[in-house]
Amino acid sequence: MPIGRKLREEALATKGFMPPNEGDALYAAACLACKTLPGLALVELGTYCGRSTVWLGAAARKYNTTLFTIDHHFGSEENQKGWEWYDESLADPTTGRLNTLPLLLETLRRTQLGDAVVPIVGESKVVSAQWSQQLAMCFIDGGHGDEPARDDYLGWTPKVALHGLLAIHDVFADPGDGGQAPHRFIYLAALDSGEFTEISATGSLRVLQRINGSSS
């Protein structure tokens, strides 16, 4: 069943880069993960203003679990001043540095998803080192440079429980379509490990399922 019309409209009204069809596919994957592994949490890496968080949070609330969404909220490299995806409206007027946390909190207030979504403000690598709980699903949409992508893969994929899902955004096989880090260092790494198999592809969103391997 698709996400409710009102929440879908709220997701699309939120600043972000998730196309509608990919958001709907993300919601479907989150629902599948929640049904497959009831009670286990979901994690999102790369919150920005909470656009994809609405789709994931709606699934978490529907299945009575929790979405933990992790971001330092200063923006990835491509979000900084002078780069293509810089949005001056999100910058601190004093420092010029991005701060997306107020927009996320407003998104949670507007959508009333605060009972299902727990924001964690911090570096993904730092949080993963302290994380011990198995996950029904991990959605990776954080920093798109080589090092952040490697760190997210190494830090978080071991946390995905057997039969759990790994969703990856901005996976482009053709360099002409976009950056290669999520494709090379997360998507291909997961498939080459033999621990995951692909179950769906929508636009640049790939959803994999853990088929073997131990979880942390």
Q: Any idea what the CATH number is for the domain that residue 25 is in?
A: 3.40.50.150
d(CA 198, CA 175): 21
Mind telling me the catalytic residues?
A: 144
- Domain for residue 128, yes or no? yes
Domain residue limits at 23: 5-210
d(CA 168, CA 207): 6
- Domain for residue 92, yes or no? yes
- The pTM assigned to this predicted structure is 0.91
Predicted pLDDT of residue 81: 55
| 78-82 LR contacts (CB < 8 Å, sep 24+) | 78/144
- Domain for residue 215, yes or no? no
Q: How many domains does the chain have?
A: 1
- The token pair at 203 is 């636009």
- Domain for residue 216, yes or no? no
Checking if the pLDDT of 80 tops 60, the result is no
What angle do the packed helices 5-12 and 51-62 form, to 10 degrees?
160
pLDDT band at 214 (very low <50, low <70, confident <90, very high): low
Predicted pLDDT of residue 83: 47
